[in-house]
């Protein structure tokens, strides 16, 4: 896992929000059905039916918000995966450059003049790889 977070965990959370959204939608439908099923007729019955319809509208709004949170989490997971892929690509280029260094007389290693060397590189997919890549021109 990178310092950016775990995109799989974001997907799991998104699934939970989607399930809760569906649960809230179903609850709203049941409330509406109970209101519509009221067989009595009077002012109180009309208020009851209107109240159940209003509750369904509130649950629909809440379900939409939960679904929106799920969509944002899924979008964040995609962005994190993309960022991790980019960091891993930078790491690959840097490590290849380091590995290809052949010490011969008069040639400086690629890490000369930077704070980086083969023994102090950041962990895999760490956001610090951006700095390493910039410092080393990779």
Q: Please say whether the beta carbons of 13 and 76 come within 8 A.
A: no
What count of Cα atoms within 13 Å lies in the side-chain half-sphere of residue 131?
11
43-99 and 7-36 helices, crossing angle to 10°: 170
The predicted structure's pLDDT at residue 38: 86
Q: Please say whether the beta carbons of 28 and 55 come within 8 A.
A: yes
**Tokens (6 digits) for 90:** 């930078």
pLDDT tens across the length of the chain (138 residues): 456 789 999 999 999 999 999 999 999 999 999 988 988 899 999 999 999 999 999 999 999 999 999 999 999 999 999 999 999 999 999 999 999 998 887 888 989 999 999 999 999 999 999 999 999 987
Partnered with residue 5 across adjacent β-strands are: 2
Closest alpha carbon to 66 in 30, 15, 27: 15
The predicted structure's pLDDT at residue 2: 56
Closest alpha carbon to 94 in 50, 136, 31: 136
**Tokens (6 digits) for 70:** 């799920």
Q: What is the pTM of this model?
A: 0.80
The predicted structure's pLDDT at residue 1: 46
Partnered with residue 2 across adjacent β-strands are: 5
The predicted structure's pLDDT at residue 107: 87
| Rounded Cα–Cα distance for residues 84 and 79 (Å) | 9
Domain boundaries, the chain: 7-102+109-136
The predicted structure's pLDDT at residue 5: 87
Token pair 């944002």 is found at 72
């Amino acid at each position: 896992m990178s310092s950016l977070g775990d995109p799989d965990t974001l997907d799991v959370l998104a699934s939970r929000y989607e399930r809760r959204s569906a649960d809230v939608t179903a609850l709203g439908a049941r409330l509406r059905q109970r209101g519509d099923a009221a067989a009595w007729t009077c002012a109180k019955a009309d208020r009851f039916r209107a109240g159940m319809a209003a509750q369904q509208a509130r649950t629909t709004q809440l379900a939409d918000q939960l679904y929106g949170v799920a969509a944002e989490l899924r979008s964040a997971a995609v962005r994190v995966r993309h960022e991790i892929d980019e960091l891993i690509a930078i790491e690959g280029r840097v490590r290849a450059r380091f590995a290809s260094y052949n010490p011969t007389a008069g040639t400086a290693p690629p890490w000369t003049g930077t704070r980086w060397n083969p023994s102090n590189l950041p962990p895999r997919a760490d956001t610090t790889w951006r700095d390493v890549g910039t410092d080393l021109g990779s």
